[in-house]
Amino acid sequence: MTEGVFRETAAEPRTQSVPLAHLSLELGHLYLEDLEGGPARLREHFERVRPWADAARADTAARAAGRTPRISTCFLIDDYFSRFSTPADLLPMILAEAERAGLVIDYLARESACAVADKVPIAQAVAGRLVESPPPGSYGARPPVSRSGWLANGQRTPAARPAQAMRRAAPWQPPSETAARRHSVFVDVELWDRDRDGNHIWSCAFLAAVWQLARLGLLRNEGEPVLTARDLTGEDGRPAQFPGAWDELPPLLRLNPTAAPFSAYRTWSVLPSRFLPVEHAVRVVLDQTDVDAGAQRQVTERATREGLSIPDSVAERVSYVFYAGP
């Protein structure tokens, strides 16, 4: 006799899928000092980005298995650590200088949205999915990332122990990278500190890791997508003007109604070279993040149906170009 197993449909986890482009191409991630430079600084940036954006498009076309590549562009602006000018004054200047360089920005995101978007604490949720890789020989003396706010890619230098009776002082030991290739490149990343009220202040590196997960279509809140793109419309449903305050701007704004999807199988970012240590830290975070299994499975299955090959490692789906300059 075979016994039936009954389950309530509502009790089964459901992960909503998101549309995916082949590539999410980041055309800029600028901070206060860049924006203070005005049109001239933005013009210089976009002129440096243009040839690399063309190279990214060519590379994606070669990977697209004979299909027309779906490529969306995005731009991230810092309104988390500092707020400069207003969307109404600043965004037209950014779009105009991008257009002058022959570039089109499809999506614009506020960096504060990588912390909280539409009342969803995205950064806190990602922090809860961190799974530290224990270094060989570790014995639990190091506090967990949930308490310390620090995440490393290996073993820190052990704390020095003074000499005691009948015992010698412990000799100094260097830090070591867990997956080192003969020599270590040890990185210890600060993910957050706290303000006077005890609230998390997320680091640039951690918010950048959240940003990459969003662009890869791997963020969910109770199965629902987060940081979804919206158009800027007025009460009559028609396109609206940029507002006078950053909080009035959608967390992720779609500027081009015909754009390919925001999230993609792979990401490519063209950034000033000062971002290199930040993005190294991003890879450390991505390598130790247990991403939503349902979202991960959806991305892999859809890539397979399209005849595409994507790495199992989330960090290996992320590419960069760093240019030297101001």
For the chain, give the secondary structure using H, E and C.
CCCCCCCCHHHCCCCCCCCCEEEEEEEEEECHHHHHCHHHHHHHHHHHHHHHHHHHHHHHHHHCCCCCCCEEEEEEECCCCCCCCCHHHHHHHHHHHHHHCCCCCCEEEEHHHHCCECCECHHHHHHCCECCCCCCCCCCCCCCHHHHCEEECEECCCCCCCCECCECCCCCCCCEECCCECECCCCEEECEEECCCCCEEECHHHHHHHHHHHHCCCCEECCEECCCCECCECCCCCECCCCCCHHHCCCEEECCCCCCCCCEEEEEEEEEHHHHHHHHHHHHHHHCECCCHHHHHHHHHHHHHCCCCCCCCCHHHEEEEEECCC
- The domain segmentation of the chain, as residue ranges, is 17-121+208-273+299-323
pTM over 0.95: no
pLDDT in tens, the chain (326 residues): 445 444 444 455 688 999 999 999 999 987 777 788 889 999 999 999 999 999 999 999 998 878 899 999 999 999 998 888 889 999 999 999 999 999 999 999 999 999 999 999 999 999 999 998 666 555 556 688 988 899 998 888 776 555 565 566 667 788 888 888 889 889 999 999 988 888 999 999 999 999 999 999 999 999 999 999 999 876 555 667 899 999 999 999 999 999 999 999 999 999 999 999 999 999 999 999 999 999 999 999 999 999 999 999 999 999 999 998 75
